[in-house]
Chain A
């Protein structure tokens, strides 16, 4: 039986998916009106992290390349926006595409040497990139632009057109629009001809090459697009937090993205949202359990999550959906 013909309570599986997506979007639209400004701020950050994790997912999940250095692209995006807004007075919305473009180029250029590296070696090279990023940002040579160790403070934008929204709520909706666009684009990309080429390279690089796929081009491109996503996330993050400084972009940030990716499910696009929620809220949760041992608690939670869901939320969702479908069909 073809999956699309299988019915659940009278609806096909894709129809269920569409229904669920619409439900999530409606919930996302209503939610900020019901909670405090600070919670709205946190939810906005969840979306920012989700976009960054989605970027990493495109690289790792779809194209099969590792990266522990995505904090660097997040930093480039954030600094591009901060410098454009602070030094040149560019409106915040216009800085997003610029940040994305800068990161696309940066990612593509880093992807070129990375072509020769596979698996572990790539992880090491990107690991080094993540560790070196704060040092490069602090460099006195660029201090005129980056503000050195102090970083740059930016002004939080007001809602446009006289909309009766607080700044936090307006930023939430702004981020939501960007998030929906980015996720829609990613879904299209993955199911396109390009997406199939990227997946073929992940599954069997030699066979992909033999079939005439320009693996070098597609792999660098995957790095570039992935960096673009993470850079846009960084740019949004800078606007939301109103502040950029070298020490917010340490190796720890790159690790958080990776954790979010694995928890959400490698290669499953909606998983990025679950990863974003995990990255945002679980460290706070761990701190509430024990202040002194917060990171130990975090580590234990992480190990438990991997034990229960070795392939992340993606595998878990697939398991539950499979069970439900079998249950429904046996009832009939």
Chain B
């Protein structure tokens, strides 16, 4: 029972990582209607920027805030420079540009900051919280920050005019333009937000997995699994899905003998396919209805 509880809490902790990234995935999906394969690399790059700021002697929280702002601006810039000119190209061409971005960010990060593994500080105390040994302060802090981001996004999307405009621009660009929404800028804003969320996710994950250019690929897959399990149209679903993936991964790794360490990524695959078989739009997603 003790082992079970321990693994459950460890699962919640890793689930926090996935939830963070799943949230970023859902954000960009909400605003541009496809999935950004370079999301993980954008988060990795932002984390390197934070690392560089810290290395220059900035204190943690100002560096954190600066990174979020820089990432937001970077996300908007990427949309304006790279994606606006090919707005009318087929979806597959967009995906190829995502792939191009992926390789550029990965290569430039490796070139600038080298491929050696770097440690990244955590803003939270390293002593166990409330004297428990099951879950660390950083894990709790990470879960807390994920939840705070979720609440902020919820308020933005449900209770502000800007959020409403963004949702409209994603759901039906033509009609949104007719009622005076500047669709192009709403999309750019979505990119900025996704980049900012990704940077927070990166800075929360880096103390656990360490900083290196390829840190994100595996995590991105789990983040995706979380987003798909929860439903790509629901931020809350994505967060819950992320936690679910973390818990399942840990419990399956411990209690199913063959799975062990060898097949951890395969679990994500099985989970994605299994959920999609039963509910093609995820557990919390809306079912799309198409007009004939």
A→B interface (CB under 8 Å): 60, 66, 113, 116-121, 123-125, 127-129, 131-132, 135-136, 138-141, 206, 251, 255, 258-259, 261-263, 266, 292-296, 298-300, 302-303, 306-307, 310-312
A selection of 23 A-B contacts at a CB cut-off of 8 Å is A116-B276, A117-B276, A120-B29, A121-B276, A128-B268, A131-B218, A131-B221, A132-B265, A135-B262, A135-B264, A136-B263, A140-B262, A206-B292, A258-B95, A262-B96, A263-B96, A295-B107, A299-B102, A303-B100, A307-B85, A310-B93, A311-B90, A311-B93
- Distance, CA A261 to CA B90, complexed state (A): 13
| Residues of B contacting A121 in the complex (Cβ-Cβ under 8 angstroms) | 228, 232, 276, 280-281
Task: Tell me if A's interface is mostly helix, strand, loop or mixed.
Answer: helix
| Residues of B contacting A123 in the complex (Cβ-Cβ under 8 angstroms) | 35, 95
The smallest beta-carbon distance between A241 and chain B, in angstroms, is 23
| B-side interface residues, number (CB < 8 Å) | 48
CB atoms of B92 and A124 under 8 A apart? no
CB atoms of B96 and A295 under 8 A apart? no
The smallest beta-carbon distance between B241 and chain A, in angstroms, is 12
Q: How many A-B residue pairs have CB under 8 A?
A: 133
- Distance, CA A293 to CA B112, complexed state (A): 10
- Distance, CA A292 to CA B107, complexed state (A): 8
CB atoms of A306 and B95 under 8 A apart? no
CB atoms of A299 and B104 under 8 A apart? yes
Q: Which residue of B lies closest to A309 (CB)?
A: B93
CB atoms of B101 and A262 under 8 A apart? no
CB atoms of B93 and A298 under 8 A apart? no
| Residues of B contacting A293 in the complex (Cβ-Cβ under 8 angstroms) | 107-108, 111
- Distance, CA A241 to CA B199, complexed state (A): 41
1/0 per position for B280-291, CB-CB distance to A under 8 A? 110000000010
1/0 per position for B70-107, CB-CB distance to A under 8 A? 00000000000010011011111101110111111011
Q: Which residues in chain B, 224-262, are within 8 Å of chain A measured between CB atoms?
A: 224-225, 228, 232, 258, 262
| Contact (A138, B221) CB under 8 Å given A125-B273, A293-B107, A302-B96 | no
CB atoms of B35 and A120 under 8 A apart? yes
